[in-house]
Structure 1
Amino acid sequence: MKRRRMLNGLKAAQDLGDYADVPVLPANVDPQAHLSRNTVAQPFWLICGKDNVLAQLSGTAVVHLKETSVLRFSMEIGDHVYIPAGTPHRIVPTEEGVQLRYKARVPGLEGVAWYCPGCDRELHRVEWDTADTISQQAYYDACAEFNEKDTLRHCEGCGTTHDPVDLTPFSAWTDIAHSLEAEPTTT
């Protein structure tokens, strides 16, 4: 997707997959807007090293949060949710929707985590520096690793095993990563 100063987010999102998180503004704009069209639950809990804001452009969703006084926020068209730095959060659409995530132009550290469906204990976490790694590739690699190793999905606390991640809805992640790697860099 070509970045531009103005775009119709709803129209541009028609070609995007779930949790594409594609930056849409010129690369030097801060904060940067990342566009996604989501139909399924986010397959992990996302952790951003800097504050970010989610904006619901269409549809509805519930944002689940950990380690905060608010543990869930229902989003309708026009709603914005502030996510403090370091807060694990997960988006679960209640109907197909388009979201913008506003985050720092240089987002720094990011990560994903999975929690036990039985006792909510953290099972596995992967972190990366966005200066070195494209997040969409890290999403794919982390999910693939989580799927491949049963030990990462098994809770030592209660014995419950987390289901593997169905990567079918997220097939665009590696394509997006390759297109972002090919972009000219700007400072």
Structure 2
Amino acid sequence: MGRRRMLSAFKTAAEIGNYADLAVLPLDVDPQVALSRNWLPQPFYHLYSHDTVIAQLSGGSVIRMHDSSVNYFTLTTGDNVYVPAGTPHRIEPVEEGVMLSYVPLELGLEGAVWYCSHCDAELYRLEWEHNNDAEANRVYATACARFNSEEEARTCHECGTVADEVDLAALGWTGLVVSEPAGSATA
């Protein structure tokens, strides 16, 4: 789905899946705005090298923060949350909803981080240079596939717990994985 000058957010959201983060503005506009419709918890904590704002257009969700003085924000229709640069955050829908994310045109580094469900230690981190033309859910699916394929990445070095693989089919991301994921991994 290409960029448009104007769109109906709810009509367009009905056409996209979880965490599509569909860019909705022409590429010369700063900040950029991404549209997403979500009904499943985000499979990782997302991070950006710049500040972002998330607006809940419909439904409700909890935005979990990691490595932050604030643990979470509960959003209902009309609420916004500011996420400081470098703060890992995860969207957990309470009910299906439509969201907008506001990010700078030159976003820089972006990443996915997984934490141990038992002791909360960082399991795996993958970072990449944001590409304004890339399909976000294809990038996310590829990052998750890389996480799934490396049992060492899913094994906590603190307590030994092995994280479950991300269910790409449930997210609607089957077939979106590219053969060679961009980005560098750190554990």
Could you tell me the TM-score, scaled by structure 1's length? 0.88
Question: For residues 147-158 of structure 1, what are the structure 2 equivalents within 5 Å?
Answer: 147-158=148-159
Q: Name the structure 2 match of 1:166.
A: 167
Q: Name the structure 1 match of 2:4.
A: 4
The amino acid that maps onto 2:128 is: W
State the Cα deviation string for residues 148-185 of structure 1 (Å, max 9, x = none).
Answer: 1111111121111111000011427839x9xxxxxxxx
> 1:43, 1:173 → 2: CA distance?
17
Ranges in structure 2 where 5+ consecutive residues have no aligned partner: 179-187
Going from structure 1 to structure 2, the CA distance change for 1:45 and 1:23 (only over 3 Å counts) comes to same
> 2:96, 2:17 → 1: CA distance?
11
Q: Name the structure 1 match of 2:184.
A: none
Q: Give the structure with the larger helix fraction.
A: 1
Going from structure 1 to structure 2, the CA distance change for 1:144 and 1:136 (only over 3 Å counts) comes to same
Question: For residues 10-89 of structure 1, what are the structure 2 equivalents within 5 Å?
Answer: 10-89=10-89
Going from structure 1 to structure 2, the CA distance change for 1:56 and 1:17 (only over 3 Å counts) comes to same
> 2:19, 2:131 → 1: CA distance?
20
Going from structure 1 to structure 2, the CA distance change for 1:6 and 1:133 (only over 3 Å counts) comes to closer
> 1:51, 1:113 → 2: CA distance?
17
Cα drift, residue 6 of structure 1: 2.4
Cα drift, residue 141 of structure 1: 1.7
Going from structure 1 to structure 2, the CA distance change for 1:60 and 1:172 (only over 3 Å counts) comes to farther
Q: Name the structure 2 match of 1:101.
A: 101
- CA RMSD of the aligned region, Å? 1.9
> 2:175, 2:13 → 1: CA distance?
14
State the Cα deviation string for residues 65-106 of structure 1 (Å, max 9, x = none).
Answer: 012111100000000000000000000000000000000112
The amino acid that maps onto 2:145 is: A
Ranges in structure 1 where 5+ consecutive residues have no aligned partner: 178-187
The amino acid that maps onto 2:176 is: T
Q: Percent identity?
A: 48
Q: Name the structure 1 match of 2:181.
A: none
Aligned positions, number:
176
- Runs (4+) off by over 6 Å: none
> 1:173, 1:93 → 2: CA distance?
24
Find the residue that maps to 2:164 and give its secondary structure: coil
> 1:13, 1:91 → 2: CA distance?
17
> 1:173, 1:40 → 2: CA distance?
18
